[in-house]
Structure 1
Amino acid sequence: MRSRNYRYARAAALGLLTLLVVGVPTDIVANPWFGREIPVRWWEYPVLAATVLLTTAWFAIQAPRRAEGRVASGVLLAVFAVGCPVCNKIVLAAIGTSGALGLWAPVQPVLALVSLALLALAVGVRWRLRGCVGEECVTPG
């Protein structure tokens, strides 16, 4: 019981950390340190919420950590997906302001979907492997 409470508290803390790591630099979570040239688009709020919920769920499920790469990739893609298209220095250096608005901004919702798909896949794999211990694996179903 104590282990489960610790795992859930840890999952909640890491979900909050995900909210801060993704939401603060992208200025979806208002803060005095970062700003945006383009206002937050309506779909960025649910993407951030789903990213936080899926990351929290992944950490809450007790299983071997076999999908860590998918979780990290999903969260990193979410940062690029919900970030201001003209605030991303890498994108600006590569394709300029007009390219950021004309090429990058339309791709961002697709990145958001890929990000959430990776996170959902990682949660699904972890859920399926929740009965595994070490190399022995008894998967339900």
Structure 2
Amino acid sequence: MREWGARRWWAAAIGAAATAVLLGVVTALIPNPLFSRMIAPEWWNYPVWIASALLSGLLLATYVTPGGDDGTGATPDRGARSSLSGGLLSWFAIGCPVCNKLVLLAVGASGALTWFAPLQPLLAAAGLVLLGWALHTRLRNAASCPSPARKA
């Protein structure tokens, strides 16, 4: 990441901000008229939300080609599944347990409170680990197989 130019850092900042707004609005960590929470957020929801947004922004930046690169040297994406899984787990972790329709369909309202809510911190940890692993994989692959220089 030390060699990243302004283009990638801007992509990381914009991606992190967009992810923070998207996750914050749909999980009602950012109060809004579209979504509401029936259960107040836990203290750890906020750090997980911000960490997920930052990792997602950095991940997005790994997909941005450096200035002057035509992208022909793209490496196979080994981190895509981890990044998608990590993002989804983070969303499930910071969301209201009884507001999530998928959880309600799967285990019902009482199951959401007694079974799913205690698992949310574990989902948060798993989501952050997967996002971190995806970022690590993308950065390692970029360093081991850099894009070729553009022909003049």
| TM-score scaled by length of structure 2 | 0.79
RMSD: 2.0
1:73 and 1:17 map into 2 onto residues whose CA distance is 18
Corresponding position of 1:24: 25
Say if 2:146 is the partner of 1:133.
Answer: yes
1:25-50 Cα deviation digits (max 9, x unpaired)? 10011212110000011000000011
Corresponding position of 1:9: 10
Structure number, greater radius of gyration: 2
Q: Percent identity, aligned pairs only?
A: 43
3-state DSSP of counterpart to 2:27: coil
2:113 and 2:20 map into 1 onto residues whose CA distance is 25
| TM-score scaled by length of structure 1 | 0.85
Corresponding position of 2:133: 121
Q: 1:111 aligns with which of 100, 113, 123?
A: 123
1:59 and 1:34 map into 2 onto residues whose CA distance is 26
Once the two structures are TM-superposed, the CA of residue 22 in structure 1 deviates from its matched residue by: 1.3
Question: Structure 2: which 5+ residue stretches go unaligned?
Answer: 66-73, 148-152
2:103 and 2:141 map into 1 onto residues whose CA distance is 38
- Pick which of 55-64 and 124-133 moved more: 55-64
Question: Structure 1: which 5+ residue stretches go unaligned?
Answer: 135-141
Once the two structures are TM-superposed, the CA of residue 133 in structure 1 deviates from its matched residue by: 3.1
Letter in 2 for 1:123: L
